[in-house]
Amino acid sequence: MPGLITMDDLTNEEIISLLDDAEKLLPVARGELYLPLLQGRILGNLFFEPSTRTRMSFETAMKRLGGDVVNLGDVKTSSVVKGETLFDTIQMVDGYTDIIAMRHPRQGAAQYACDSARVPIMNGGDGAGHHPTQTMLDLFTIRQAHGTLEGLNVVLAGDLRYGRTVHSLSHALVRFGCNVTFASPDSLKMPEEIVADLREHGAEVVETDNLLDQINGADVIYMTRIQKERFPDEEEYAKVAGAYKLHARDLDGAKAEMIIMHPLPRVNEIHPSVDSTRHACYFEQAFNGVVARMALMCWLLDVKIPEDVNSAGGVL
């Protein structure tokens, strides 16, 4: 069954077509228009580890399109604690639902589920692996700000080793000819096999440990959270994390149209002073999760989005 496990499951043409669809659905996501394209369909939300934005935006997307959602709920109270295999969980849930969104702490879980299921699986994060639906909303946000995905200078900063959002995103950016710069402490560098893959695709990848030097040339700065538990002691963490923080005063030389993104939640890496600058884009980015996931679910369920949604939809 087709699903979205990694960005390799989509061609560039399919990505652009999905972004176009997402754009059409903006008034539906905002609640300005009622368009029940997925009425009667049920989404299974299987989040085996915590999620706020991904889970809620999948749920919002399905409900705004007239469908319904069933949730796995807290893993601690589900069959998983009784030792149920992922295979068995998927066999059960795909009998209840038409499409599944899943997050799992084990890498490869989404592909495994996809090979086990009869309904489409959408990977909402598998360990430190992939998070392609986040990539779709990231690409949507970048295109919305710059009008294109091609040839942009994108700086990915922070925890590039464990941050699955940046793994999926960097692959996609390179496919659209973006120049990517990885700014991270040495211990949290982008995994070598990903850098090798990107270079194999012809990308010029720059790796640095200095974020501030990259600001003026960037069209997009994509920040990620550096997690304390990745460091042997507090002092080491404080030293490293301090170098990957943005404050409004750091942005004086930035291009006017440069945007700052973050998959959220943020801790200290973006100072609240940045929120009121023209560069802050992370809350809009979080909202875009709804349209991106709406478009994706319609596509996977083979539901066409009308050219003119305004005349197809009704008032809420």
* 89 near other proteins, rule: CB under 8 A: no
DSSP-derived letter for residue 176 is T
Q: Choose, from 24, 41, 53, 143, the residue flagged as catalytic.
A: 53
Candidates 3, 6, 184, 220; binder of other proteins (CB under 8 A) is: 6
* 107 near other proteins, rule: CB under 8 A: yes
Taking the complex as a whole, how short is the minimal distance between the CB of residue 34 and other proteins, in angstroms? Answer: 39
Taking the complex as a whole, how short is the minimal distance between the CB of residue 192 and other proteins, in angstroms? Answer: 9
* 2 near other proteins, rule: CB under 8 A: no
Residue type, 282: Y
Give one DSSP letter per residue of 74-102, joined into a string.
Answer: -GGGSGGGGT--HHHHHHHHHHH-SEEEE
Indicate the residue among 126 and 269 with the shorter CB distance to other proteins.
Answer: 126
Indicate the residue among 162 and 237 with the shorter CB distance to other proteins.
Answer: 162
For CA atoms 58, 62, 63, 64, give the dihedral sign. Answer: positive
* Piece of the chain touching other proteins by CB under 8 A; list 50-58, 108-116, 182-190, 300-308: 108-116
Q: Choose, from 24, 55, 64, 103, the residue flagged as catalytic.
A: 103
- 97 catalytically annotated: no
- 135 catalytically annotated: no
C-alpha pair distances (Å), 204 with each of 90, 165, 177: 40, 20, 10
Per-residue burial over 76-95, b = 16 or more CB atoms within 10 Å of its CB, e = otherwise: eeeebeeeeebeebbeebbe
Taking the complex as a whole, how short is the minimal distance between the CB of residue 140 and other proteins, in angstroms? Answer: 25
Dihedral in degrees, nearest 10, Cα atoms 76, 80, 82, 85: -170
Indicate the residue among 6 and 141 with the shorter CB distance to other proteins.
Answer: 6
* 199 near other proteins, rule: CB under 8 A: no
Q: Choose, from 131, 164, 167, 225, the residue flagged as catalytic.
A: 131
Give residues with Cβ within 8 angstroms of 266, minimum separation 6: 223, 225, 282
Indicate the residue among 115 and 204 with the shorter CB distance to other proteins.
Answer: 115
User: Residue 68: enclosing H or E segment and its boundaries?
Assistant: strand 68-71
- 143 catalytically annotated: no
* 219 near other proteins, rule: CB under 8 A: no
- 131 catalytically annotated: yes
- 228 catalytically annotated: no
Whole-angstrom distance, CA of residue 220 vs CA of residue 156: 8
Indicate the residue among 86 and 136 with the shorter CB distance to other proteins.
Answer: 86
* 134 near other proteins, rule: CB under 8 A: no
Name the burial class of residue 114, with classes exposed (0-12), middle (13-18) and buried (19+) by CB atoms within 10 angstroms of its CB: buried
List, by residue number, the catalytic residues: 53-54, 82, 103, 131
Binding site for other proteins (CB under 8 A): 6, 83, 85-87, 104-109, 111-112, 115-116, 126-130, 193
